[in-house]
């Protein structure tokens, strides 16, 4: 058999942080891999071993990383591309398909698989209780790959539609003011009493969970290690827990 027939790419989610939340399927892929590709902190979560080459790259290099992985698979390597959480949620799975679309036709024959992981919003929701227990949506607040005006539009419409919402990449040093704008929109559409939870470093040793109201929330409560969950008009506290009931009122 030629090398090209044995190569593969698997895009794997490492979950939110705790190794107990890595699936057996992802562990098996890492055991069989010859090469692991990904953003530095995620590659650092993979134990080195003889026969495994770790390729850690910078954050914004997603497309280069994806085509590097495809090139190596075409040359017969067994490549795992690692993402945090789930690889299909604001992560490497779509980047891999973008590179596939832009690449040579022969790549279409490659053995490519996406291995799911536990995404930050589901890990955070589980810690909080069940804030996403009714209809919900996930919005990436980073405007690296889309205009900020579109983000504002989606936040407003999601709030008007009564979805619970999970916000990824809420606030970074390079865009400190936009999250404040998102909070203003949410306050205007959902009201000051609506619950909002800030879940930082979920499942990691320094995990922090804070639930407050939109009226009391401030932009500084979020950073790039935080996933933010905003409830619906029905979302409430029960004891230490936050939950959204399964049914919505009629009318
Ligand atoms: N693919 C990842 C998301 C990548 S985008 C996933 O499925 O979880 C990066 C954003 O994810 C961060 O800015 C933050 O909003 C969120 N995030 C990732 N891991 C997190 C964690 N352990 N705790 C809280 N938020 C997290």
- In DSSP notation, 177-229 reads SHHHHHHHHHHHHH-TTSEEEEEESTTSTT-EEEEEETTT--GGG--TTEEEE
36 vs 55: CA distance, rounded Å = 6
Q: Measured between alpha carbons, how far is 212 from 242 in angstroms, rounded to an integer?
A: 10
User: pTM for the whole thing?
Assistant: 0.96
Among 23, 168, 201, residue to substitute to test ligand 1 (most atoms within 8 Å of Cβ): 168
How many A from CA of 220 to the centre of ligand 1? 17
- Of the candidates 75, 77, 81, 74, the residue with the CA atom closest to the CA atom of residue 42: 81
Mean pLDDT of 8-35: 98
- Cα 193 from Cα 136, distance rounded (Å): 19
Q: Which atom of ligand 1 is nearest to the CA of 172?
A: 13
Q: How far apart are CA 86 and CA 246, in angstroms?
A: 25
- Contacts of residue 186, defined as CB under 8 A and 6 or more positions apart, other chains included, come to 155, 159, 165, 194, 196, 214, 230
Closest residue to atom 5 of ligand 1, CA basis: 90
* 2 Cα–ligand 1 center, Å: 39
Closest protein CA for atom 17 of ligand 1: 120
Give per-residue burial for 83-107: e unless 16+ CB within 10 Å, then b: bbbbbbbbbbbbbbeebbeebeeeb
8 A C-beta contact, residue 25 and residue 45: no
User: Rounded to 5 degrees, what are φ and ψ at 63?
Assistant: -70, -40
Residues 251 and 238: their CA atoms lie apart, in Å, by 25
| Own/partner long-range contacts of 151-154 (Cβ < 8 Å, ≥24 apart) | 151/178, 151/182, 152/181, 152/182, 152/185
Of all residues in the chain, the percent with pLDDT exceeding 70 is: 98
DSSP 50-91: TT-EEEEE-TT-HHHHHHHHHHHHHTT-EEEEEESB-TTSSS
Distance from the CA of 5 to the center of ligand 1, in angstroms?
35
DSSP letter assigned to residue 49? -
Which of residues 5 and 67 earns the better pLDDT score?
Answer: 67
Burial level of 48, CB count in 10 A (0-12/13-18/19+)?
exposed
Question: Is 36 a residue whose pLDDT tops 60?
Answer: yes
- Compute the distance from residue 155 Cα to the ligand 1 centre, in Å: 18
Ligand 1: list residues with CB < 6 Å.
16-17, 83-86, 89-91, 119-120, 124, 168-170, 199-204, 224-227
DSSP helix/strand/coil, 162: coil
Average pLDDT, the chain: 95
Q: What is the per-residue pLDDT across 152-173, written as a single tens digit (0 to 9) for each?
A: 999 999 999 999 999 999 998 8
250 pLDDT tier (thresholds 50, 70, 90): confident
Ligand 1 atom at minimum distance from 88 CA: 1
User: What was the pLDDT predicted at 103?
Assistant: 97
Report the nearest atom of ligand 1 relative to the CA of 83.
1
Nearest CA to ligand 1 atom 11: 168
pLDDT (mean) for 225-244: 98
- CA 121 to centroid of ligand 1, rounded, Å: 8
Going from the Cα of 3 to the center of ligand 1, the distance in angstroms, rounded, reads 36
Per-residue pLDDT at 4 = 44
Query: In the predicted model, what is the mean pLDDT of residues 108-135?
Result: 98
Average pLDDT estimate for 123-143: 97
Higher-scoring residue by pLDDT: 175, 104: 104
Whole-number Å distance, alpha carbon 6 to ligand 1 midpoint, is 33
């Amino acid at each position: 058999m030629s090398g090209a027939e044995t190569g593969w790419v698997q895009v794997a989610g490492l979950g939110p942080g705790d190794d107990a939340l890595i699936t057996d399927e992802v562990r098996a892929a890492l055991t069989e891999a010859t090469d692991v590709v990904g953003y530095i902190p995620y590659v650092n979560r993979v134990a080195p071993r003889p026969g495994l080459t770790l390729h850690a790259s910078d954050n914004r290099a997603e497309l280069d990383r994806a085509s590097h992985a495809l090139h190596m698979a075409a040359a017969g390597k067994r490549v795992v591309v690692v993402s945090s959480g789930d690889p299909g949620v604001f992560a490497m799975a779509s980047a891999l398909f973008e590179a596939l679309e832009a690449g040579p036709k022969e790549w279409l024959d490659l053995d490519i698989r996406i291995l799911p992981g536990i995404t930050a919003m589901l890990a955070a929701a589980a810690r909080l209780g069940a804030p996403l227990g009714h209809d919900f949506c996930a919005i990436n607040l980073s405007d690296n790959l889309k205009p900020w005006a579109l983000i504002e539009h989606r936040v407003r419409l999601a709030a008007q539609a009564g979805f619970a919402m999970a916000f990824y990449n809420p606030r970074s040093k390079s865009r400190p003011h936009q999250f404040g704008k998102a909070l203003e929109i949410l306050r205007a559409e959902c009201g000051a009493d609506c619950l909002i939870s800030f879940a930082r470093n979920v499942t990691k040793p320094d995990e922090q969970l804070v639930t407050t109201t939109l009226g009391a929330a401030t932009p500084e409560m979020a950073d790039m290690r935080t996933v933010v969950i905003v409830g619906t008009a029905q979302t409430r506290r029960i004891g230490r827990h936050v939950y959204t009931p399964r049914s919505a009122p009629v009318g």
